[in-house]
Structure 1
Amino acid sequence: MALPLTAAHRRSIVIAVTAVLIVCYFMAIGREDHSTSFITLSTQWSTSKDSETVAVLDVKQPNETPSESSSSSKSKPSPTLANAIPQVSHPPHRANATLVMLARNSDLNGVISSVEQLEAKFNRKFNYPWVFLNDEPFSTDFKRRVSVLTDADVSFGLVPHEHWVQPDWIDEGRAQEGRNKLVRQGVIYGGSVSYRNMCRFNSGFFFRHELLTPYKWYWRVEPDVRYYCDLDYDPFLFMEDHDKIYGFTISMPEWEPTIPSLWSTVKNFVAEYPQYVSPDNSMDFLSDNAGDSYNMCHFWSNFEIADMDFWRGEAYTKFFEYLENTGGFYYERWGDAPVHSIAAALFTRKDQIHFFKDIGYKHAEFAHCPQGKQWREGHCSCDPNDNFDFAQNSCLRHFMRLHD
C-alpha cells in the first residue's frame, strides 16, 4: 500500500529534478565551448609565383579576443566548420601569349628601359612570359640583369643560323650592287646585310622558333622604345574575344627605293593564288587605285600584337615562300613591316585589324599618344599634341577610311 506524499516530500522531489536539469545544462554549455574553440579557424591564402594556391589554416586559441586574432579578422564570418574549408581561387584567365624581343647583348640598356616600362604599365598586372632572341648567345650579365626586371617567366633563345644569314643561293654580286645603290641614295641601313637578315627573320621565321611555337599570340617589343600609358585590360584577350588577327599603333609610308619590285611581286602572287585574298580585305589601305599601284602605307611592325597562327597558316606561308624565292630581301631591302602589312591587309577581313589607339607608344621620333578620355584614364605621360597620327605622311587616315 503506497504511503501518501506530504508537502515536504513534494518540495524535495521538485528541488532534486531542478538540480539535475541545471547540471545537465551547464555540462552542455561546457561541451559546446570546448568544441567551438577548436573549430574556430580562419583561412589565409598564400599564392606562389607559379600560381599554385596554398591554404594556411590559423587555429584560433580559446578565449582569444578579436584584437589578438589575425589582421583579416575584421571581415571574418561566423566561426563554423564550413567557413574553415579553403575555397580554391583560380588565377585570372589569360591568353596563350608572350612578349617577344629580338635584341643583342649591346642593346642591354635599351632592353632594360623597354622591359621596365612595359612591366610597370601592363605586365606586372598580367604576368605574361617574355622571350628574348639573339643571333648570338646572350651573355650571363644580360640574362641576369633582364631576368630580375619581372616576376614572369623569362626565356632566352638563339636564332638558328639558317634563319638569320643570307642564303647561299643569293647572287652576292647582285646583292652588293643593290646595297651600293641604296647607300648612294642615302637610304638608312642601305648597305647593311645584318639589317636584311633581321627583316627576313621577322618576316618568315621568328614565329617558328622553338621558344615561340607553344604560343598563339605575341606582343613585339623593341629596345629603347617608350610606353606612355597604363593599360588595365588584356590586349591579347581583347584580340581573342573580338576575332582580331593584327594590331598596331603607328602606320606610315615605306621608303620606295627599298621595295621597288615588291608590289609587282605581290600582284603576281595574287594572280596565281587568288583563293587566299579575303573578299572583305583592306586593299584600300594599301592602294589608292584598287590595287594597280602601292601607296607605300604599312603598319610599323616594331609594335605588333598579333596572331602567330596567321603567320603559320597556309596563305602566309605560301606568300612568304613566294617572296623569298625572288631574293628581294637581299637584292633590294624588303622590310618585315610592308611584308606583314600587305599580308594582313589582303588575307584577313578588314575588321580583323585593330588600331590600339589607347596604347601610348614611341619609337625613335615617331609617337602615338592617346587623345581625350583615353589619355586621361590611361594616366598617359605623353603630350597629346605630339602625335604622328596628325602628320601629313601618316597612313592612319587610310586605315580609318576603311571603317567610315
Structure 2
Amino acid sequence: MIKRSNLKYLVLTLVVLFFFHWALLTNRPKSSFSTPWVLTDPELPSKVIGGPYEFENVTEESNSANACFVVLIRNTDLHSFRPTMRQLEDRFNHKYNYPYVFLNDVPFTEEFKKYTSALTKAKTEYGLIQSEHWSVPDHIDMDVARQNMQRMADEQVLYGAFTVSLYEYPKTIPTLWDAVKEFAITYPEYIENDNLMEFISNDNGKTYNLCHFWSNFEIADFNLWRSEAYLKFFDFLDKKGGFFYERWGDAPVHSIAAALFLKKHQVHFFKEIGYKHEPFMHCPSEEELQLKCHCNPSDSFDFEGYSCTKR
C-alpha cells in the first residue's frame, strides 16, 4: 500500500465504483470526453497542476504535483480499463509519470498487475481494501434496506449503485438535504462563509436544487477529504443510514461538501480537459484546443438543459 504521506497534496482521482466510469484526457479516440472539475489548494501555485493550457510545459522535474492516480477496479475490468490507461499515458502521464494506486476488495491477479504495469513507466501499487470498509454497519436494518432497494427497483430508479455537473435523481436522495441542514445547524463552525451555496441551492439553503459534480473523475486535494469538517460530515451522514436506505451517492455528497467547506476560488472547472461518462460528454470548444481534440464541441453537455455547468 502507498504511504499516506505520499498523497499529501493533490490526488488525481479516477474512481470506478463497480461501473465503467473511465476518465480520459483530451484527444481520446471515438469521442470519449466530458467535464472535469478540480478542487485545488489556494496556497499552491497554478503551475503545480499545470494550469489552463500549460500541460505541454510542465515537467516532472520542475512542476509536478505530489500526486497519484487512484483507481478502484475489479480484476474482471482489466481489459476494459487498458485502453483508458494507454490513452492517459499517451496524452498526459508519459510526461509526468504520476504513480497509479489500484484498489480492489479482493487480491489483484498477477495478470492484472502484469498488464497494467506494462502500460506505464510510473510506479504501480496494488492495495486490498479491508472487508470492514465495505461491510454494512451494525446500525443498518437490512430488512428495511432490502425493502427500499425493491421499492427503488420497482420505480426504476437508476444505479440502485465531478466531472460533468448535472441534476441528481430526486428519488435517490429524498432526505439527504434534511441531513445536510441538520449538520449545518449542529456544526456551523465548519461552514465556509465564502462558499458555493448558490451552486447547490436556489433559495440560500432552504432546499437542494440537485446540482452536483460527477465524481467518477475528479482532481482533488486530500486535505479536503481528510479535513475535520468532511470527516465529521461523512460520519454524520453515515449514521443517518441514507447510503443504504436510499441511494445517497458519492457525487452529491462530495459536491455538497465541496460547496459548503471550500471557498469559491478553490473549485475550478478545467474546460480544456475532454471527458465522457455515458451518456454525457464535455468537449473543449476553443479553436486552439480543438486542434488537439477528436470530439465534436456541438455534442458537449455543458449548456444543455439538464446541465448545471451554467450555474
TM-score bucket of the superposed structures, by smaller chain? 0.7 to 0.9
- 1:175 is aligned to 145
Q: Select 1:155's aligned residue among 120, 125, 135.
A: 125
Contact 1:249 1:357 in 2 (8 A): no
Find out whether 1:388 has 2:280 as its counterpart.
no
Counterpart Cα distance in 2 of 1:316 and 1:141 = 37
Find out whether 1:186 has 2:100 as its counterpart.
no
| CA-to-aligned-CA distance 1:213-269 (integer Å, 9 cap, x gap) | xxxxxxxxxxxxxxxxxxxxxxxxxxxxxxxxxxx4410111111110000000000
Counterpart Cα distance in 2 of 1:116 and 1:383 = 22
Contact 1:249 1:356 in 2 (8 A): no
Q: Select 1:372's aligned residue among 275, 286, 293.
A: 286
* Cα displacement (A) at 1:93: 3.5
Counterpart Cα distance in 1 of 2:148 and 2:235 = 21
Find out whether 1:108 has 2:22 as its counterpart.
no
Structure 2 residue matching 1:305: 3-state secondary structure: strand
Counterpart Cα distance in 1 of 2:287 and 2:253 = 34
Counterpart Cα distance in 2 of 1:374 and 1:291 = 39
**Aligned letter for 1:280?**
D
Counterpart Cα distance in 2 of 1:364 and 1:187 = 17
Q: Select 1:142's aligned residue among 82, 107, 112.
A: 112
- 1:164 is aligned to 134
Counterpart Cα distance in 2 of 1:262 and 1:296 = 10
Which residues in structure 2 correspond to 1:5-404 (within 5 Å)? 91-190=61-160, 195=161, 248-377=162-291, 379-398=292-311
Counterpart Cα distance in 1 of 2:163 and 2:258 = 15
**Aligned letter for 1:176?**
R
Higher RCO structure, 1 or 2 (CA under 8 Å, sep 6+): 2
Counterpart Cα distance in 1 of 2:138 and 2:129 = 18
Q: Number of matched residues?
A: 252
Contact 1:367 1:386 in 2 (8 A): yes
Runs of 4+ in 1 over 3 A off after TM superposition: none
* Cα displacement (A) at 1:179: 0.4
Structure 1 residue matching 2:298: 3-state secondary structure: coil
* Cα displacement (A) at 1:162: 1.0
| CA-to-aligned-CA distance 1:177-207 (integer Å, 9 cap, x gap) | 11011101111232xxxx3xxxxxxxxxxxx
**Aligned letter for 1:91?**
E
Structure 2 residue matching 1:270: 3-state secondary structure: helix
| Structure with greater proportional helix content | 1
Contact 2:163 2:215 in 1 (8 A): no
**Aligned letter for 1:382?**
C
RMSD, aligned α-carbons:
1.2
**Aligned letter for 1:145?**
Y
* Cα displacement (A) at 1:376: 2.9
* Cα displacement (A) at 1:138: 1.0
Contact 2:163 2:216 in 1 (8 A): no
| CA-to-aligned-CA distance 1:22-42 (integer Å, 9 cap, x gap) | xxxxxxxxxxxxxxxxxxxxx
Q: Which runs of 5+ in 2 are unaligned?
A: 1-59
Contact 2:99 2:123 in 1 (8 A): yes
Contact 2:104 2:128 in 1 (8 A): yes
| CA-to-aligned-CA distance 1:37-70 (integer Å, 9 cap, x gap) | xxxxxxxxxxxxxxxxxxxxxxxxxxxxxxxxxx
Counterpart Cα distance in 1 of 2:202 and 2:187 = 22
Structure 2 residue matching 1:396: 3-state secondary structure: coil
Contact 1:369 1:386 in 2 (8 A): yes
* Cα displacement (A) at 1:374: 4.5
* Cα displacement (A) at 1:375: 2.3
Q: How high is the sequence identity, in percent, across the aligned residues?
A: 52
**Aligned letter for 1:105?**
N
